[in-house]
Structure 1
Amino acid sequence: MSPQKRINTFRVRVNLVLCTIIFCNACAYLFVNMRAFQLLAIGSAVLPAVALAPKQLISAPRRSTAVPNPSGEVALFSTGQYSFESHESSTTWNLIDLKSGKISELTDDSNVSEIIWLGSSNSELLYINSTNADIPGGVELWISDTADFNNFRYKAASLSASLSGLKTATTKTGDINFLVYGQSYGNGTAYNDKLAVKPLSTARIYDSIYPRHWDTWLTTTFNAVFSGTLELKKSGQWATSRYVSRGALKNLVSTVKNLESPYPPYGDSTDYDISPDGKWVAFKSKAPELPRANNTASYIYFVPHDGSKNPEAINGPDSPGTPEGVKGDSSGPVFSPDSEQLAYFQMTDIAYESDRRTLYVYTIDSKETIPALAKNWDRSPSAAKWTTDGKGLILNTEDRARNRLFILPSDAGDDFVPRNFTDSGSVSSYYNLPNGEILVSGSAMWTSRIIYTATPEKGVTNVVFSANEVDPALNGMSSADVDEFYYEGNWTEIHSWIIYPQNFDTSKTYPLLFYIHGGPQGSWADSWSTRWNYKVWADQGYVVVAPNPTGSTGFGDKLTDMITNNWGSYPYDDLVKCWEYVRDNFDFIDTDNGVAAGASYGGFMINWIQGNPLGRKFKALVSHDGTFVADAKISTEELWFIEHDFNGTFWGDRDNYRRWDPSAPEHILQMDTPQLIIHSDLDFRLPISEGLSLFNVLQMRGVPSRLLNFPDENHWVTNQENSLVWHQQVLGWINKYSGIGASNSNAVSLDETIVPVVDYNP
């Protein structure tokens, strides 16, 4: 079979595979309904296809995950949208009927920042009001009802700072024990930026390592989890409890020095949990006794909700149940339905941020070693939820460039291999429904939000909602826009995605857009992104090829770990072989006019490619926040990262750092491909000097180059107006050199720039 026929046949096969997620068992899945088939297999076939342009991507609705009410009849989600006309964002809260898919608006009150279902009620809601009538910079807790949100509501508590991450549990007496988090002073009081005394000097003074992290200089304040109670009054309403006076919540973290939870920069309410009976709280914190910059160690702490005892680590170095030799990052604590057990993840390696996460189950007050479940399973789950009966756990796990749900018995042995029951796309969140189904919210390359139900026995049972059916910007998008293939890499078979442009025609040719992911331990997944969106790039008129080379996650530990101290070897070889495979096998891809782009580690790889032979195969390059000078890596903040990935310290193993140095003279002398460099001032993991160094070299070497800088962005570009400029510059740059602008009316041009270009050259 010819390569052309092979890809067409594979395309059909992928669509058929997507259909099978609505059947049960590999050999005898049962068809459930035509709606699920249409959405999961072919997306929307009714709406005419439109090209996804940057402005449409950025301003399209962004929906949160759906949270069901206790009866499982309706679910709650928010929808945010940015307007380039008003230059403002708006948010509405919505209810979706889980049978019919009908959506109704609950409220468009801009002050509502979070809503959760109140206790076991199917209509009562508890929410955070982002303003406080009495305390500037504070927030309030309000209670309302789905029947008439705006008229049934009343204030239940006034909180003295900007707090979020609301979680609750109902006690036997009907009281509501809740948790929130925010910044804390060392004495345990909540930090309120509006009321804080501003120092006259801007000086910063540090006596310990780790003065800054991600995009923030560290101060004397830190994240903390606060607890409170809303008492059920005789009137039937809830109000602030007896031990919480005017928002003076109990700080559960500050009583032990150097604890912090949630842990920045990614920490959120998944870093803590409250037991269903409301008695206990578990939270994650970085190891307080170790220097933060040099290790990933963190523990799960256990504390009474009322703060009557100090928190204690259940898996710390001195804890009686700590598994032997397990010293890495802990995450995702979640209590069992009976409040008697706590599941959490932990990595083994103390200095490897991408080590495999293993699931452990702690029995409350147990003095025995905490057992691991499916210890030898070669996957790294990111989230766990107990089944309703407490006999198993459902895991969200990256697996072969997708995020799938797996079922795991709570007594699984070391060699047990969990079974997945969702397939395509990437799961974002999931909740148990009383009928035994699971409500799943996710996304895919072709839809920004999909909501469906599934069971471990039957797979997907019903698709409730998919954004590509209702959002004009996504009209016509479907799974037919995406294929995948495998090829022989440096040492093993490598996976790659292939994404087609609008109105793709195999009889025509399209320039290659070569996508390189970050990490370096990361992957290109079947998910939606508002930054590096596959379809936005493809719809400029490219075929996007997005390989998952050595270092990629979700394909087993070996592929992930082999990149260690091999940044420029195996992954580079895998990318070269991918380019050659595309050149030799896809007649519709024009590699002669191809371009390449990457961010973070992908930015490093673009810089490495620029100074190596593969760089001569592209008409233009784009590197976003990539390292350039090997010795500059010591200026990063998370030192455990470089010490792990380069097998040693900066002074003891300098050759490891310099082995893959894009700034080495022999590489600089090869550079001649036009390159756009993007680097932002608040990226402390990859400081701005890296981008400036590369730009200086390219300019002095006479290589066509441009520097795009954002003073107010970190590793990502998230502000909508900045994102529009980012897309205009990136797409305009590659279109200029690939020649795509002359053949595609949808193509972005550098002439469309909305920001002045500074050019002092004579």
Structure 2
Amino acid sequence: MLGLRSCASAAAVLAALPHVLAITPEQMLAAPRRSEAIPNRSGTLAAFTSTSYSFDTHNTSTSWNLLDLNTGDISLLYNGSEISEMIWIGPTDTSVLYVNGTNREVDGGVELYMVASIPAPLSGLKAAVTQSGAINFLMNGQRYPNGTAYNEALAETPASTARLYDSIYVRHWDRWLTPETFTLFAGTLTPASDSSNSSSAWSFSGELRDLLAGIEGQAETPVQPFGDSGDYDITPDGSTVAFLTKAPELPYANYTASYIFLVPHDGSAVAAPFNCHNCSATPENARGASAAPRFSPDGSSIAYFQMDGETYESDKNKIYIARLDDSITVTELADDWDRSPDQLRWAPDGQSLFVAAKDVGRERLFSLPIDAGADYVPTNYSDPGVIAAFHILPDSSALVSSSSIYSSRDFYIATPEDKTWLFTSNSTDPELSGLGPEDVSDFWYQGNFTTVHGWIVYPESFTDTSTYPLAFLIHGGPQSAWLNSWSTRWNLRTWADQGYVVVAINPTGSTSYGQAFTDAIQNNWGSYPYDDLVKGWEHINSSEEFPYVDTANGIAAGASYGGYMVNWIQGHDLGREFQALVTHDGVTSTLNQYTTEELWFMQHDFNGTLWDNRDNYERYDPIRYARNFATPHFVVHGSKDYRLPVSEGVFLFNVLQELGVDSRFLNFPDEGHWVLNRENSRVWHHEIFRFINAYSGASGST
């Protein structure tokens, strides 16, 4: 077992913290980033990681920690980045199986420490103890076409770098597609016959079974680029595995449909789906993306989500339970509930489910019985932040890992009656000292066809007798939302602490306000959302409620669809109300969107193809209004962004320069749709803030 060492209590740390007047980009980026807290079987302890960054040494430091779920005390479990994953396993509450990110025997491999040598960089460990005492485990990674694990460190370097394709979908998000695909590998750790004469109580034969072998058509799990171990599950007895893959018979570029497959862990049969388009158990309208397959505690049922629309990534996730008898039957729960859950867990007794769903700018925890009818309204009992993850404890309470605009990670235990707070980062981390709920408020106003919600984030030392330039931030998606959550990419408080009042509105198309509000953006990119934003700006500008907001010296910024909207605003009247604009990886011309890889995205949102429905693409094309461009504009684009290629950023910058509009272009050759490298993010913040502050007169220093 790993040794435990006591750490100073949170109260002692808090007493020694200096008061931070404002959070700078460096503080935000260097502050500890904590994982979810993963509890042991008895619900007495939970493990989590904490990773910090030093701009002096340009290095990260990682530790594994134990959280006492009764007292909130935190102990150091291991200090080092070698351990990349850990799960609780075995008959006791102190046994763990963990992944060592290096391998003493195989370059580029990993180890199930100290039991098994894994010959490739596999991850996503899940495991179950069988009746015989063996441990059946799952890990995912890339495979060669022959089904063996792919290890880049050992792969031969070809003489030519040529890529040849004969079907669409040649690249995705930030990588070009190669013959190597992602799959799920199964292995077994068997009890050593004489553990007294062995360095381990377990042995591993080295056999890794490709559980996707034999599936006709293209199949891949986890589903890229966001899939992880949540895309598969194993029964408590270790006998059966469920995983999801996009529909193997359909072109990935054109469809979002995905199926859940069942397969024996020993690979004795070829995996088969139970909710495919032609499967007898599939509900009539369920043709879209599946998510979060989770076996019941007794392994007899599986709960999951599935959408109806097969070409729409933001349709409503419906809740289903499949009874795994000889004849599989599928039941939908709470059919009429107008929310789209995205996380799922079973109660210990198997009689109810817990789901997390975005709800009015938050992500909340809800519970519902497994026989919930169509009109059942799930019960919420979580904090008004955003749930990053949750686990159900033996007494059916929930261990929640969450965040908010003012706290990067909170841990608490929730029941319908109460919440027990175990940890809050803003009362522990020096970098976040001084942040709190008083930094944030929300407001409502009449939008295009319904009331619209927005957030206001205040700078440090805010007073309503002073005035502050407006930072008008627009979210991406477009089917997304500004939530009450922490972000290291668009951190609302960091923007505010440059001397702005941040206004972050959730216009038409935003999630968490009902499916109709989300769906209404289809074929309306430049109409309803723009109208909502104009009305929001007018509400801030004219209302006596906001005398402290200086709209005359405001700026607007957005990324992805938010970047599209900034470009649209630049060519319209609202663009003349700002002193400066910022576009990050945005759409400059809707006519260029066939350079993307997820063709279903534009074909859904613009009601058809470019050649059959060209008017829909031209109607809301920002570049049509280029002659109106006049506001100083900062443009950012990553070269590895293949969903919105870098040519869009270059296009916009070239037009601005030709028109004589003051503009700058910031490019990151090694970044995709987001700026993830901390050093790059530091430059991103400083260059953007330097540009906008010069025009707004904001007091922030960079």
**Where on the TM-score scale, by shorter chain, does this alignment land: which range?**
over 0.9
Could you tell which deviates more after superposition, 299-308 or 43-52? 43-52
Any idea what SS the aligned residue of 1:663 has?
A: helix
Kept after mapping to 1: 8 A contact 2:244/2:260: yes
1:347 to partner: Cα distance: 0.5
1:45 to partner: Cα distance: 13
Distance across 2 between alignment mates of 1:614 and 1:630: 20
Alignment counterpart, residue 116 of structure 1, candidates 82, 87, 106: 87
Superposed, 1:123-142 pairs within 5 Å as 123-142=94-113
Kept after mapping to 2: 8 A contact 1:70/1:120: no
Distance across 2 between alignment mates of 1:275 and 1:732: 54
1:193 to partner: Cα distance: 0.5
**1:526 corresponds to which residue?**
484
Does 2:477 align with 1:477? Answer: no
Any idea what SS the aligned residue of 2:136 has?
A: strand
Distance across 1 between alignment mates of 2:323 and 2:147: 29
Does 2:227 align with 1:240? Answer: no
**1:539 corresponds to which residue?**
497
C-alpha distance after superposition, 1:708-759 (max 9, x if no partner): 000100000000110000010111111111011xxx3xx134xxxxxxxxxx
C-alpha distance after superposition, 1:51-99 (max 9, x if no partner): 0000111111001010111222221000111111111111111111122
Alignment counterpart, residue 177 of structure 1, candidates 129, 136, 156: 136
Alignment counterpart, residue 404 of structure 1, candidates 356, 361, 364: 364
Distance 1:46 1:114, change over 3 A: closer
C-alpha distance after superposition, 1:197-246 (max 9, x if no partner): 111000000001101111111011110011111112344554234xxx33
Kept after mapping to 2: 8 A contact 1:433/1:439: yes
Kept after mapping to 1: 8 A contact 2:88/2:97: yes
Any idea what SS the aligned residue of 1:382 has?
A: strand
Distance across 2 between alignment mates of 1:530 and 1:254: 39
Distance across 1 between alignment mates of 2:383 and 2:688: 32
**1:14 corresponds to which residue?**
none
Does 2:60 align with 1:89? Answer: yes
Does 2:222 align with 1:273? Answer: no
Alignment counterpart, residue 149 of structure 2, candidates 190, 198, 207: 190
1:47 to partner: Cα distance: 6.3
Distance across 2 between alignment mates of 1:436 and 1:579: 45
Distance across 1 between alignment mates of 2:552 and 2:437: 28
Distance 1:44 1:433, change over 3 A: farther
Kept after mapping to 1: 8 A contact 2:20/2:431: no
**2:596 corresponds to which residue?**
636
Kept after mapping to 2: 8 A contact 1:175/1:238: no
**2:213 corresponds to which residue?**
254
Distance across 2 between alignment mates of 1:198 and 1:318: 42
1:549 to partner: Cα distance: 0.3
**1:587 corresponds to which residue?**
547
Distance 1:279 1:73, change over 3 A: same
Distance across 2 between alignment mates of 1:96 and 1:47: 25
Kept after mapping to 2: 8 A contact 1:330/1:347: yes
Q: Structure 1-normalised TM-score?
A: 0.88
Superposed, 1:611-760 pairs within 5 Å as 611-664=571-624, 667-740=625-698, 744=699, 747-749=700-702
Kept after mapping to 1: 8 A contact 2:581/2:634: yes
**1:572 corresponds to which residue?**
530
Specify the code of the residue in structure 1 equivalent to 2:630: D
Q: CA RMSD in A?
A: 1.7
Q: Structure 2-normalised TM-score?
A: 0.96
Specify the code of the residue in structure 2 equivalent to 1:427: I
Alignment counterpart, residue 243 of structure 2, candidates 283, 299, 317: 283
Does 2:565 align with 1:602? Answer: no
Does 2:33 align with 1:62? Answer: yes
Any idea what SS the aligned residue of 2:498 has?
A: coil
Distance across 2 between alignment mates of 1:97 and 1:47: 27
Distance across 2 between alignment mates of 1:598 and 1:509: 23
**1:452 corresponds to which residue?**
412
Does 2:327 align with 1:367? Answer: yes
1:44 to partner: Cα distance: 11
Distance 1:425 1:45, change over 3 A: farther
1:691 to partner: Cα distance: 0.6
Distance across 2 between alignment mates of 1:489 and 1:132: 57
Kept after mapping to 2: 8 A contact 1:186/1:254: no
Any idea what SS the aligned residue of 1:669 has?
A: helix
Any idea what SS the aligned residue of 1:398 has?
A: strand
Distance across 2 between alignment mates of 1:163 and 1:424: 36
Any idea what SS the aligned residue of 2:161 has?
A: coil
1:366 to partner: Cα distance: 4.6
Alignment counterpart, residue 325 of structure 1, candidates 274, 285, 306: 285
Alignment counterpart, residue 167 of structure 1, candidates 123, 126, 129: 126
**2:5 corresponds to which residue?**
none
Kept after mapping to 2: 8 A contact 1:58/1:82: yes
**1:204 corresponds to which residue?**
163
Does 2:186 align with 1:227? Answer: yes
Specify the code of the residue in structure 2 equivalent to 1:128: V
**1:429 corresponds to which residue?**
389
Alignment counterpart, residue 252 of structure 2, candidates 292, 311, 317: 292
Distance across 2 between alignment mates of 1:294 and 1:280: 31
Any idea what SS the aligned residue of 2:131 has?
A: coil
Q: Which runs of 5+ in 1 are unaligned?
A: 1-34, 143-154, 750-762
Specify the code of the residue in structure 2 equivalent to 1:389: D
1:49 to partner: Cα distance: 4.2
Distance across 1 between alignment mates of 2:617 and 2:260: 34
Distance 1:375 1:334, change over 3 A: same
How many residue pairs were aligned?
685
C-alpha distance after superposition, 1:326-379 (max 9, x if no partner): 110011100000110001110001101100000111111352541111112111
**1:392 corresponds to which residue?**
352
**1:26 corresponds to which residue?**
none
Kept after mapping to 1: 8 A contact 2:61/2:80: no
1:423 to partner: Cα distance: 3.5
Specify the code of the residue in structure 2 equivalent to 1:340: S
Does 2:306 align with 1:346? Answer: yes
Q: Which runs of 5+ in 2 are unaligned?
A: 1-8
Any idea what SS the aligned residue of 1:450 has?
A: strand
